[in-house]
Each structure stands twice: as structure tokens, then as C-alpha cells.
Amino acid sequence: MEPLKRRKLVSSLAGSTGTDSSGDNVPTKFPQVVLFLLERKMGSSRRTFLSQLGRKKGFQVEEAFSERVTHIVSENNSGNEVRSWLNSQDGGRAAVHLLDISWYTESMRAGRPVQILDRHKLQEQQINEAEAMVFSVPNYACQRRTTLENHNAVLTDALSLLAENAELEDEDGRGVAFRRAAAVLKALPKPVTSLTQLRGLPCLGEHSLRVIQDVLETGSSSEAESTKQSERFKALKVLTGIFGVGPKTAAWWIRHGINTLHQLRASGHTLNRAQQAGLEHYDGVNRPVTKAEADAIGEIVETAVTSVLPGAQVTLTGGFRRGKLTGHDVDFLITHPEEGREEGLMPKVVSWLESQGFLLYQKTTRNSYLESKDGPARPASNMDRFERCFSIFKLAEDERRETKQPETRTDGVTRLRASEDACGRQPALSQADEEPKPWRAVRVDLVVSPISQFAFALLGWTGSKLFERELRRWAGYEKTMSLSSHALYDNKQSRYLKATSEEEIFAHLGLEYVPPSERNA
């Protein structure tokens, strides 16, 4: 068997000849014109056809962009999109012509480069350099004020999706890199229209810049869209949506052919108590929680807490404290103005909630900071050591069915009728067969803190996750301190720094105070 003949290649630097579709050399008639066809929005097949047509007629058409190119031809791209692409290639040579495909087709018909008219030129919206200069942000997210008003949502959505995928693949480092890049864009006062506006900004690595460039040129990120449509990403999203299931467990299930809830139910795999509850109440737990629902749960929790410990205080934390209108769960921080009065509070609160039928699932962890010899500021991990209750809450819906109508007590708290069991559990039904319920399942975390640590706990449980990570990084690298949800420790002076408010913590760290509504990094 004879080996296939290699196609004869012509160097892109050759200027005297071109190669047509048959592989034969064609004399170059216009050596002063070097063309490059931009594939974006044109497509590879059409680009190949048009390139071969140009070479056949004696034009120099480069396969790869180089400094020899004098004319860039594109189809269905704006001047700013092409300029943005060009800037990413060589810093943006002003001498090159940015032309619409119409100039190319007219030149093909004429058999020569036609005169470049205004209608052939891609129109570029000039970027005011003074405006571009406002895109300057500090290195740390905890130094920035980031509200919920995001001027670059398309860009940050793409980066956030890639971050989520990295986290689902248990690649936290890559996930943090994308989160930091998205946080920088969220802090910008205006929409990004060109990569030139991002010069000198921190946390924008090569990968993130490629994603941003793709969105600026095409309106979306091909990588993010491909990730979103991948079967593995979909399976990881579904399986980690089960309360009590992390990326490693989900990946193990996927390796064993489990990609859906139906397959998991049919597999016979043994689930722990949290996973059983998460699977049973999957739809409710994965439905966004509204601020109104969070407030309703807050009233119930406050009633429970004050019933067993008068004078205790309950504070809504997490995204809702930062001003968000929806969330994935609801977090509450509980304390008492008298140090030590909070000890033993959590079991009593949980017992009250269970007796009233509000808990579908709960797991309480005891505090461990009281038993530690190395002090509350030095936990073994970023997780705090407060006494906590991870729960799935049973919240009555506004539209209740008569068969399970909750009755209202005089204190304004709704209680389910005694005909349901104490936890209100329903049999696990398939999604198609599941009947509408007069209640919904909501993820709720309860945390008890002593008053001496309340300011640190409030700061730590307010978020965002990246903002808190950056606060700890700032404390360690810039101030030689250790910050946790329990305390702030000065490593140089070997002592704890007291604080009764978040403002005092920021002051200790040498930072301008950032209110909760501006911590949405």
C-alpha cells in the first residue's frame, strides 16, 4: 500500500505565489495587499471556500494572522468586535484596514482589490480613554464596594458558570480564579466594551480574558455555552443539588452510571440520613427562597428562640442581609446579650421546632471552640466551630389545601395539624406523581454564637463567600493577622483584638468599612 501523498504547503511568509484548492501555485498579482479572513461568525467552511477563491484570483490570503496582514475581512462583526480581537493579537495596529465582507466579494468579482469606500469600512465606536481610566479597582475584593447592580452581567455570568463547573469538578483553585475575575467586573461602574479598558486590572488571568474577549466579540462565551450543554455538567448540577451530596460523591455516582435522580432512586445505593432527606425534598430545596419566605421563617425562629430563652437575639444573615431578594437557603445567627446564656440553647430551639412540626430534617453539631486549647481564632479549617443546626424547614405555602390546612395560633405562628407526623414527611414519589403540597421545603441553618464573638460571626456569616475569603487573605498577607468567624488574632503582638461591631473589625484591619449591601463580590 502506497503512503498518501502529502499536500504541498506554501509558507505564509511567501508573497510571490498563492495556492488554490488543487494545490497548484498561483502567481500573486497584488503583493501590496495581504488579506486575512476572520473566522468568527463566518464559519470555517465558508472561510476556507472564500480563501481558496481569493488565492485562485491572485490574492494573498493568510491562514494565520501576522504582521504582514494589511486587510482584515469579517462578516457580521462590528468594528469594535474586530478591533477587540485585533488588540488581543498584537496590541491593535492602527494601519490595518478593517473591512466588511462586501469589499471582498466585490474585489472577487472585479478580479482586483476595489477602492475602499466608507460603506466597506467597519465602523468603530471610539472609546474615550478618560472613560477607560475609571476601570481601576483595588486588588482585594474586601477593598471594593460591590452592589447588586451589575453592569457586566453577561461577562460575569459566563465566568461564574465556569467557576461553578470547576468547583463541581473539585478544582477549587480554578474556581477561585474565575470568581475573582467575575468579582472585578462586578465592581466596575460601567459596561466593558473593549479589552483595552481592562488593562492593568487585577485578577484577570489569560483564561478569563479569553472568555471576556469571546463574549465581547460574539455576545456569548462558547466555552460557557459548551459547558452548560455538557451531560457531565448537567449530571453534577442535578446530583449536587441533593442536600448532603458534594462533588466527590456526585462524581463517584456518575462513574457508576448514575446521572439522574431517577437512576439514583433505582440504583439501590445506600444514602445517609441527610441525603435521604435531600432526595425526598429535592424540588423544594432547589427552588429559590424569596425574601418574604425568609422573613416568615425568621418570625418562626425568633418565636422558638425567645420561647426557650427570653432576651435572645436572632439576626438574618447571608445573601438576604446583603440585600438579595432570593437565595438558596436561609441563615440565622443567634446570641444573647449576657455571655454564657447561649450555652445549651440549640437543643431547646430544635426541640421546640420539632414539636411544632417545622423540621423535616435536622442535624445539630455542638460547639468545639470551648474545648480547643489553641483559641477560637485558629480553627483547623475555614469552617467555624459554632454550635449549628443544619435543617430542612417545613414552611406553609400561601395557598393551602383544605385537607392539610395549618391552624394559626394566637402568637401568629402557624402549626400543622396533628394528622401529620411530627416532621411532616411525605412518601417519596416520582416527580410526575407528586401531588401539590400546602407547604414547601427550605434549607435553613441556625448558628449560636456567644456575644463576645458575635461581631466576627456576623461578618463571617454575611458573605459573600469570596468577600470573606479576601478578608482572611488581606488579614494574613497585609496585616499578619488571623481572621475567623470567632476572633481576630494579631500574630505580631500574640494577642486577640476585641470588637463589638463589624466596623471595629474593619478598623483593626486598616480597611474602610464596607456595609453588607456592598459586599456582593
We report the CATH number of the domain holding residue 102 as 3.40.50.10190
Instruction: Report whether pLDDT(399) > 70.
Output: no
Average pLDDT, the chain: 85
Domain boundary among 185, 211, 229: 229
Mean pLDDT of 151-168: 98
* Residue 80 and residue 57 share a domain: yes
Question: Which phi-psi region, left, alpha or beta, contains residue 375 (left: φ > 0; alpha: ψ -120 to 50)?
Answer: left
Considering only CA atoms, which of 137, 188, 203, 144 is closest in space to residue 511?
A: 144
Rounded Cα distance between 513 and 145, Å, is 10
pLDDT (0 to 100) of residue 129: 53
* Residue 496 and residue 355 share a domain: yes
Rounded Cα distance between 519 and 145, Å, is 6
Rounded Cα distance between 25 and 17, Å, is 6
In terms of Cβ atoms closer than 10 Å to its own Cβ (0-12, 13-18, 19+), residue 359 is: buried
- 469 falls within a domain: yes
* Residue 176 and residue 97 share a domain: no
Annotated binding-site residue numbers for Mg(2+): 329, 331, 445
Domain range enclosing 57: 34-120
* Residue 363 and residue 447 share a domain: yes
* Residue 333 and residue 365 share a domain: yes
* Residue 443 and residue 344 share a domain: yes
- 68 falls within a domain: yes
| Whole-number Cα distances in Å, 426 to 391, 423, 435 | 16, 9, 10
- 93 falls within a domain: yes
* Residue 241 and residue 211 share a domain: no
pLDDT tens-digit readout, 455-508: 999 999 999 999 999 999 999 999 999 999 999 999 999 999 999 999 999 999
What is the pLDDT confidence band of residue 196, given thresholds at 50, 70 and 90? confident
* Residue 314 and residue 458 share a domain: yes
Domain boundary among 286, 304, 321: 286
Mean pLDDT of 296-308: 98
- 311 falls within a domain: yes
Mean pLDDT of 241-249: 97
Identify whether the C-beta of residue 509 lies closer than 8 Å to the C-beta of residue 483.
Answer: yes
* Residue 203 and residue 181 share a domain: yes
Let me know how many helices (H) and strands (E) the chain has, helices first: 19, 18
Least confident among 8-12, 230-234, 277-281, 515-519: 8-12
Better pLDDT: 329 or 427: 329
Please enumerate in sequence order all residues whose Cβ is within 8 A of that of 479, keeping only pairs 6 or more positions apart, or say none.
509, 510
Torsion of CA 214, 220, 224, 230, to 10 degrees: -130
Mean pLDDT of 223-239: 97
Q: Which residues are catalytic?
A: 329, 331, 445
- 66 falls within a domain: yes
- 463 falls within a domain: yes
- 12 falls within a domain: no
* Residue 153 and residue 54 share a domain: no
333-348 per-residue burial string, b: 16 or more CB within 10 A, e: under 16: bbbbeeeebbeebbee
Rounded Cα distance between 392 and 398, Å, is 19
pLDDT tens-digit readout, 303-324: 999 999 999 999 999 999 999 9
Domain boundary among 229, 264, 297: 229
* Residue 110 and residue 208 share a domain: no
- 419 falls within a domain: no
Annotated binding-site residue numbers: 329, 331, 445
Domain count across the chain:
4
Q: What is the DSSP letter of 81?
A: H
Q: What is the CATH number of the domain that holds 163?
A: 1.10.150.110
